[in-house]
Amino acid sequence: MTKKKVFTGGIVIAVLALMLFMAGISFAGNLEPSAAPAPTMKTLEQIYIKLVKICEKTTGCTYTAGDGVCDRTLGETCSNSVADCPCLATICGDGTCNGTETTASCAADCTSRFTVLTDSPYNGVVVRDNSTSLVWERSTDPTGRNWYDANTYCSNLTLGGKDDWYLPAKDELFSLVDTTQTNPSLPLGHPFQNVQSGYYWSSTIVADNPNFALDVDFINGNVLSNLRNIAPLYVRCVRGGQ
């Protein structure tokens, strides 16, 4: 008799649970939309852009560099905020001179030869050459160094939040030269500061005489060579891209 009551009670509980489950489905209703979204409905991206426009009109808001968000609608790009907007792609015509774009390959984005990178972490201390995508020290250290010390200076340099600087090869250094200009032989309107009109080391060693390395004369734009362990020349460090 006891077993029968337990069995019957179990059936009753099971039936009640099933009824509650079905009632839950009934209360929840159909989760599918009853009709297509109205044409006045906006996407989250459209809502965001609208809020940004309102913000610009009322508070003059700007993007925050280093917050991990690439606010392109506020003008944040990989050129001025690479920490938030990595230069992962090159899209000619997107208004940003980045990736492998140059003045020759995409004049629409790279409208000028040089760009001073002003936002964090660069803070105006580096210059991007839009014709080669190389990034240079903006201000020249006035100290003359031999070739070995020049290499050490660049490899130990931390500038613009970056520590991957190196002594440029001859071709990289010579890419800055404008042979129509003298003293210094840099393009007109260049943004470099504290420019030393003189000889700058390259990392390129003379093939048939390894005691010498090539240097670039920024007085007349010539390529020369000097003894690596003696000659005190200037240094302009470089890093590859943003």
Share of the chain above pLDDT 90, in %: 48
Say what the pLDDT of residue 106 is.
75
By residue range, what is the domain housing residue 206?
A: 136-240
pTM of the complete model: 0.57
Other Cβ atoms within 10 Å of 145 Cβ, number: 18
pLDDT at 103 over 50: yes
- For the chain, how many structural domains are there in total? 1
Q: How far apart are CA 50 and CA 67, in angstroms?
A: 21
pLDDT at 35 over 90: no
| Residue 122 belongs to a domain | no
Q: Cα separations (Å) of 117 from 15, 68, 122, 125, 193? A: 72, 18, 6, 7, 14
Q: How far apart are CA 21 and CA 16, in angstroms?
A: 9
What's the mean pLDDT when you consider all of the chain? 77
| Residue 196 belongs to a domain | yes
First to last CA, the chain: 84
Confidence label for 27 from pLDDT (cuts 50, 70 and 90): very low
Confidence label for 105 from pLDDT (cuts 50, 70 and 90): confident
| Residue 234 belongs to a domain | yes
pLDDT at 11 over 60: no
Tokens of 165: 């600087």
| Residue 119 belongs to a domain | no
| Residue 157 belongs to a domain | yes
Residue whose structure tokens are 């048939």? 208
| Residue 98 belongs to a domain | no
Share of the chain above pLDDT 70, in %: 58
Per-residue pLDDT tens over the stretch 134-153: 999 999 999 999 999 999 99
Mean pLDDT within 72-77: 60
C-beta pairs of 27-32 under 8 Å, 24+ apart in sequence: none
pLDDT at 181 over 60: yes
Say what the pLDDT of residue 15 is.
39
For position 173, which CATH number holds?
3.10.100
Q: Which one is predicted more confidently, 178 or 14?
A: 178
| Residue 186 belongs to a domain | yes
